[in-house]
């Protein structure tokens, strides 16, 4: 009996050790090499900022060993190596499915891996930055600002003016950081919500905001918003705070690259010529076509533009509205499967005047696809 008890105790001890080892192995960090890919690009110099506090890793994997804790707006340079697999990670309040990017942290010189969903591009180009010190200084300053404080917008713009470099590549990067910041400020109701809510707006105020004729520097609230890179828009009884691209443009002037100058001009055009009212088209279809052509052509001309995702988003929305219509302006009568005349006219307009542009190619492909599925285009002979 004594021998049996000893055997059972020994067996239990062995099982306990085995289970303990299993638990340790499950939680252990893998040190096995992770498959990565070297990226080849003509635009080999790419700078990003982190969009949230994030831990960089020694291995490009979610449970990899933490190498460094990076603050929001930390400036990094991509080293053109990426993990072969994509991981699912929550950044802020959103889930992203992205690979890990190998980067160099400019402030420390550390080479490390960062989850791609936590990175936002601020510069891509064939030429490297010649004034990274100014960019690092600006990045550090922006990192320490509080977007719930309205006055922080002016601080960022003043710092941009102070650090504006003779190097246009650095100015490009600082422009994107500044414009991103005033966009964040515009979305922060804590920064300006109470100010807007407590002001006794008049009917004249509303009319000037709606028509875009308000002299922001002469209005007590407008002046405060304007100097912090913000603007007002809205409808009767509904006032919205938006970023003001004109204010940021006044700071950088012409000391940016050709692509960024074009981007700024298109943003200004978008502000001036309102295409959408919520999800509805509020402008002539020719205006929709003209802007869709501008944005789609820009995307084709500058495929590695720092804010290409924003360019593609604008291009896709305008193109989709042109091809399919929106809630208040459907392109087709779905009961009869007949394309409405105003859309037949605008598609022919695009094909006639925009030649072989990306937009014309998209329209041509779309109409052929529809014709192959018995959608009808009566009256006019469609141009192919």
Mean pLDDT on 215-241? 90
The CATH number fitting domain 36-125, selected from 2.40.70.10, 3.40.710.10, 2.30.30.40, 3.30.360.10: 2.30.30.40
* Better pLDDT: 156 or 328: 156
Mean pLDDT of 135-146: 90
pLDDT of 336 over the 60 cut: yes
**For 106-123, what is the mean pLDDT?**
94
Q: CA 284, 286, 289, 291 torsion: positive or negative? A: negative
Res 378: pLDDT: 65
Contact 209, 199 (CB under 8 A): no
| Residue 284 pLDDT greater than 70, yes or no | yes
Q: Round the average pLDDT of the chain to a whole number and report it.
A: 85
Provide the pLDDT for residue 365.
93
How far is residue 204's CA from residue 151's CA, in Å, rounded to a whole number?
27
Query: Which residues neighbour 61 within 8 Å (Cβ) at sequence distance 6 or greater?
Result: 30, 34, 83, 87, 100
Angle at 187 between CA 182 and CA 191, to 5 degrees: 80
Q: What mean pLDDT do residues 141-151 have?
A: 93
Q: What is the pLDDT of residue 241?
A: 95
Closest listed residue to residue 47, CA positions, set 154, 147, 152, 131: 131
Calculate the alpha carbon distances from 99 to 35, 91, 104, 122, 211 in Å.
Answer: 11, 13, 16, 19, 45
Checking if the pLDDT of 308 tops 80, the result is yes
Q: What is the 3-state secondary structure (H, E, C) of 251-311?
A: HHCCCCCHHHHHHHHHHHHHHHCCCEECCEECCCHHHHHHHHHHHHHHHHHCCCCCCHHHH
What DSSP letter does each residue of 69-118 carry, written as one string? EEPTT-EEEEEEEEESS-EEEEETTEEEEE-EEEEEETTT--EEEEEGGG
Task: Examine the pLDDT at 25 and tell me if it is beyond 60.
Answer: no
Residue range(s) occupied by CATH 2.30.30.40 in the chain:
36-125
- Main-chain phi, psi angles of 47, to 5 degrees: -115, 140
φ/ψ of residue 225, rounded to 5: -65, -45
Beta bridge partners of 58: none
Region of 162 (left: φ > 0; alpha: ψ -120 to 50; beta: rest) is alpha
Q: Within a 10 A sphere around the Cβ of 27, how many other Cβ atoms?
A: 8
pLDDT at 78: 94
pLDDT of residue 350: 95
Q: In the prediction, which pLDDT does 26 show? A: 28
pLDDT value at residue 357: 96
Structure-token match 């192919």, residue found: 384
Determine contact, residues 69/53, Cβ cutoff 8 Å: yes
Q: How do residues 251-271 score in pLDDT, each as one tens digit?
A: 998 899 999 999 999 999 998
Rounded to whole angstroms, how far apart are CA atoms 113 and 81?
9
How far apart, in whole angstroms, are the C-alpha atoms of residue 12 and residue 225? 72
Distance CA 74, CA 106 (A): 8
CA distance 116 to 50: 9
């Amino acid at each position: 009996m004594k021998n049996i008890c000893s055997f059972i105790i020994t067996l239990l001890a062995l099982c306990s050790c085995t289970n303990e080892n299993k638990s340790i192995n499950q939680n252990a960090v893998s040190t096995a090499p992770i498959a990565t890919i070297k990226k080849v690009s003509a635009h080999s110099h790419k700078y990003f900022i982190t969009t949230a506090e994030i831990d960089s890793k020694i291995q490009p994997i979610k449970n990899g060993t933490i190498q460094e804790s990076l603050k929001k707006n930390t400036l990094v340079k991509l080293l053109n190596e990426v993990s072969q697999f994509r991981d699912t990670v929550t950044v802020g309040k959103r889930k992203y499915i992205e690979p890990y990017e190998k980067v160099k942290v400019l402030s420390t010189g550390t080479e490390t891996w960062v989850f791609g969903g936590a990175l936002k591009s601020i510069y891509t180009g064939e030429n490297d930055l010649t004034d990274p010190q100014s960019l690092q200084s600006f990045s550090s300053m922006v990192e320490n600002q509080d977007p719930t404080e309205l006055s922080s917008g002016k601080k960022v713009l003043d710092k941009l003016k102070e650090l504006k470099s003779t190097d246009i590549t650095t100015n490009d990067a600082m422009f994107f950081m500044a414009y991103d910041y005033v966009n964040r400020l515009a979305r922060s109701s804590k920064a300006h919500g109470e100010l807007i809510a407590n002001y006794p707006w008049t009917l004249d105020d509303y009319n000037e905001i709606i028509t875009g004729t308000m002299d922001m520097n002469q209005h007590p609230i407008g002046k405060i918003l304007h100097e912090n890179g913000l603007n007002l828009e809205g409808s009767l009884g509904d006032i919205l705070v938006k970023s003001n691209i004109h204010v940021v443009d006044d700071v950088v002037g012409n000391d940016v690259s050709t692509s960024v100058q074009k981007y700024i001009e298109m943003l200004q055009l978008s502000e001036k010529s309102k295409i959408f009212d919520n999800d509805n088209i509020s402008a002539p279809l020719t205006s929709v076509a003209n802007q869709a052509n501008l944005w789609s052509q820009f995307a084709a001309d500058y495929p590695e533009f720092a804010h290409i995702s924003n360019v593609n988003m604008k291009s896709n929305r305008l193109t989709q509205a042109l091809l399919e219509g929106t809630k208040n302006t459907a392109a087709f009568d779905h009961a009869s499967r007949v394309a409405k005349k105003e859309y037949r006219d605008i598609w022919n307009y695009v094909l006639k005047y925009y030649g072989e542009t990306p937009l014309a190619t998209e329209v041509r492909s779309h109409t052929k696809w529809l014709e192959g599925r018995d959608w009808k285009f009566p009256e006019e002979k469609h141009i192919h």
